[in-house]
Chains A and B, each alone.
Chain A
């Protein structure tokens, strides 16, 4: 599949992988439900071994099933890991006016200390949150936004919102393309010569995008009307049935998670 022209990182690359994922053929509702179940189990169990298992299995599915390369996957995990590290450090360290715990650092006015308990707690928290992040990545990397909209629709979300989701999903890419083209054109004319020029350029591109969007909206409306649009935006959804073995697989997985949690206690 053709990779999006220039901005093949961040949101675009998540969308790219979601579109070519092998799990894309699976029923959207099933994916959302199983992710919700695994997420809940992972959070409720609060068991480090179960969390590690979730991180590993989800990672494996993301690499194998969703076809994401290890390098990209680690890149995607980088930001959540950074946040979780900072959060966990805050949990691990305590402040005291006298030296306590298994390790303490004197900072002249007070002591930073770590105890075995806080360390374990921080680790547990980190693993639990990482498990949750991996599960959510499983959903993000296997289900394009349009399919999520379809799931929400089947859950009786107001039609207006799902139609908007569909259109925004389509137009965000057009908008990004146009913005990128304008930016290239501006840079080629030294629109980024210094900070002040860059700011002006940025503002002008924003203004142009608005005008262009309004103009394009008219053309879109004409194009839709010419194909019989009458105020009701029909969305074709592929019907993907849930297989029995998929449900069994989910059941087994949850069973294993519970077993791991029980045994490790």
Chain B
């Protein structure tokens, strides 16, 4: 069993307009977990992330970070440990050069100048952005901006990173790069939560899938557990991953090893009979 890093208990969040965005959310997140958060638009994923990150403060229920309840005083601490990569990089990038942008978070942490410089350099190297250091963000492409917005969070050295639909509006090459970065972060023991509509990606990448529907958690389990529940898929308007469909078809005809559930083309080839 993994050490628990975040525990959400009976969390409900209501927007000032009166819309109940989250109701009675209970979730325990372990260190280093790879979680895909799924659900249709308006299901409450982004609101949930904003709560986890400490930007929004829930009216009832609470968040426990490493066993300690997060009160108004600890919100700052929560933001330090939980980073949030926004969906639209243009709504996140605030500074007028890439370097200044990546330094914004560490500067808010009131770190010494040398440390900030070190972290900025590391984060830029991590995202392969060294040559963009002095550039203003408005001369970058969409994929490059996304990389900057991820470098922003890497420089803060958060233990938990939330990605809000990171692959939206990225070209295939940028998506590949993104997946490499996600794999790297995961290897380093970061806890990653990604909200996504891409069932194939979720099936392949995640260890655990949490499905939101109408502000509630509809399902929570391994990708296989979630995607085998037809009822859940129907209610949350999710499609079955292609790889799972292929497996099921082959399984009906007895062409694949039972219970093999391949996740990638390579695994599929190995599991085929004959």
Contact surface of A with B, Cβ cutoff 8 Å: 1-4, 15-16, 19, 24, 144-146, 166-167, 169-170, 173-174, 177, 216, 219-220, 222-230, 234-238
Closest to B155 in A: A227
In the complex, chain B residues whose CB is within 8 Å of the CB of A2: 139-141
In the complex, chain A residues whose CB is within 8 Å of the CB of B99: 236, 238
Residue pair A236, B107 in contact (C-beta under 8 Å)? yes
Residue pair B137, A170 in contact (C-beta under 8 Å)? yes
Residue pair A16, B104 in contact (C-beta under 8 Å)? no
Q: How far is the CB of A73 from chain B (nearest CB, A)?
A: 20
In the complex, chain A residues whose CB is within 8 Å of the CB of B54: 226
6 contacts between A and B (CB under 8 A): A2-B141, A170-B138, A222-B50, A223-B86, A228-B108, A234-B104
In the complex, chain A residues whose CB is within 8 Å of the CB of B97: 146
User: Which residues 70-117 of B sit at the A interface, judged by CB distance below 8 A?
Assistant: 76, 79-80, 83-84, 86, 88, 90-97, 99-100, 103-105, 107-109, 116
Residue pair B96, A227 in contact (C-beta under 8 Å)? no
Within 8 Å by CB of B55, from A216, A222, A235, lies A222
State whether A234 and B108 are in contact (beta carbons under 8 Å apart), knowing that A170-B96, A219-B86, A228-B76 are contacts in the complex.
Answer: yes
Contact surface of B with A, Cβ cutoff 8 Å: 50, 53-55, 76, 79-80, 83-84, 86, 88, 90-97, 99-100, 103-105, 107-109, 116, 120, 134-141, 152-153, 156
Within 8 Å by CB of B79, from A174, A220, A228, A237, lies A228
Within 8 Å by CB of A4, from B105, B107, B139, lies B139
In the complex, chain A residues whose CB is within 8 Å of the CB of B94: 167, 170, 220, 223-224
State whether A225 and B55 are in contact (beta carbons under 8 Å apart), knowing that A166-B95, A170-B96 are contacts in the complex.
Answer: yes
Q: How far is the CB of A192 from chain B (nearest CB, A)?
A: 26
Q: What 4 A-B pairs have minimum CB-CB distances, sorted nearest first?
A: A228-B108, A146-B96, A236-B103, A173-B138
Closest to A19 in B: B136
**With A146-B97, A234-B107 given, can you name 9 additional A-B contacts, CB distance below 8 Å?**
A1-B139, A2-B141, A15-B136, A146-B100, A170-B95, A224-B104, A226-B54, A236-B104, A237-B100
Residue pair B80, A19 in contact (C-beta under 8 Å)? no
State whether A235 and B95 are in contact (beta carbons under 8 Å apart), knowing that A219-B88, A227-B156, A228-B109 are contacts in the complex.
Answer: yes
In the complex, chain B residues whose CB is within 8 Å of the CB of A4: 138-139
In the complex, chain A residues whose CB is within 8 Å of the CB of B92: 220, 223
Closest to A232 in B: B108
Q: How far is the CB of B71 from chain A (nearest CB, A)?
A: 16
Residue pair B76, A230 in contact (C-beta under 8 Å)? yes
Closest to A170 in B: B96
In the complex, chain A residues whose CB is within 8 Å of the CB of B50: 222, 226
In the complex, chain B residues whose CB is within 8 Å of the CB of A227: 79, 83-84, 104-105, 108, 152-153, 156
